[in-house]
Structure 1
C-alpha cells in the first residue's frame, strides 16, 4: 500500500473560497499554491486568467489531510469528477508500478512524468471511472 491515501477535491474556480470555508468549519492549518506561484515553465505557460486559481491547497488537522485545487478552464468540470484519490510512494519504482497497474484500461489526464513538486507524478481515471493521482515523495 502507499504511504498516503488522501482525498483530493476539485473546484470550478471557487477553490480558495471552499478551502477558507472548510478551514473555518473544521479548523486546522492551510497552505495554498496558486497557478501563478509555480516556477515558470516554457513548455506549459500559465495564462493570465488562471494565475489566481488554486493549483494545490492542503488543509491539515490532527494528522488528517484534505487536498484541493481548481480545474483549468479547458478541462471539463462536473459534479462526480471533482474528487480524486492521491497516492504517494517513497520510490520511483513503487510509483511507476502502481501507475501501470491502476491506469490500465483507464484514461490519462497527465502521463507519469517529473514535475517541479515530485520526481514522478501522474493523473488519470481508472477503468471504473475513479480519478487518481500518484506521486513519488520529493528527494530529501
Structure 2
C-alpha cells in the first residue's frame, strides 16, 4: 500500500495544481470544489468556501500527489501543509493504524462515513505529522 502526499494551500490550490500539472506534463486535473459537495442541512457551507478546492490529484512519476485548500478559519503554515494519506481497501488495518496514531495524537476528524469514502479520518500524531486515512474498495 503506497503512502500518498497531500498538499494543503491557503486559497491558491487551483493555481498550484495547474502549475504542477504543466510542470510534470499532466493533463489539467479534475478539481472538486467545496461548493460541489452535496448540501448538508447540518453544515451550511460559508459562501467564501464554495470556490475553494476540496480535492485534486496528479500522478507525478508514478506517485499520487493530492491537493486541497484549507478551511478559511484554519490556514496552514507552510512546512505543515503536507500530509500523508493512507488509501487502503483493508478496513481493519486502516482502523488499527488510525487508532494507534490517535492514542498519543490529536484527532481532527474521527473515522466516519463521508460522501467520498465509507471510512475517512484525519489526525496529527504525537510527532506533529498529519495523516489522512481513507477506505477505498479495491485499493492496495
Q: Please, what TM-score do these two structures have when normalized by structure 1?
A: 0.91
Q: Does 1:41 align with 2:40?
A: yes
Residue 95, structure 1, aligned to residue 88, structure 2: no
Secondary structure in 2 matching 1:95: helix
**For residue 52 of structure 1, what is the aligned residue in structure 2?**
51
Say whether residues 1:134 and 2:111 are aligned partners.
no
Say which is worse superposed, 104-113 or 7-16, in terms of deviation: 104-113
SS in 1 for 2:20: helix
Aligned to 2:20: 22
Q: CA deviation at 1:40?
A: 1.3
Give, in whole Å, the separation in 1 of the partners of 2:102 and 2:56: 25
Note the residue ranges of structure 1 that are not aligned, 5 or more in a row. none
Q: Contact 2:88–2:137 at 8 Å: present in 1 too?
A: no
The CA RMSD measured in Å over matched residues stands at: 1.7
Aligned to 1:78: 77
2:105 is matched with 106
| Aligned 8 A contact 1:35 1:51 in 2 | yes
Q: Per-residue CA shift, 1:71-123, capped at 9, x if unaligned?
A: 00111421122000000121322211111012221111111111001111111
Name the residue aligned to 1:31: 30
TM-score (norm 2): 0.91
Paired positions, count = 138
Structure 2 SS opposite 1:102 = helix
Q: Secondary structure at the match of 1:27?
A: coil
Give structure 1 regions of 4+ aligned residues with deviation exceeding 3 angstroms.
none
Q: Is the 8 A contact 1:125 1:131 kept in 2?
A: yes
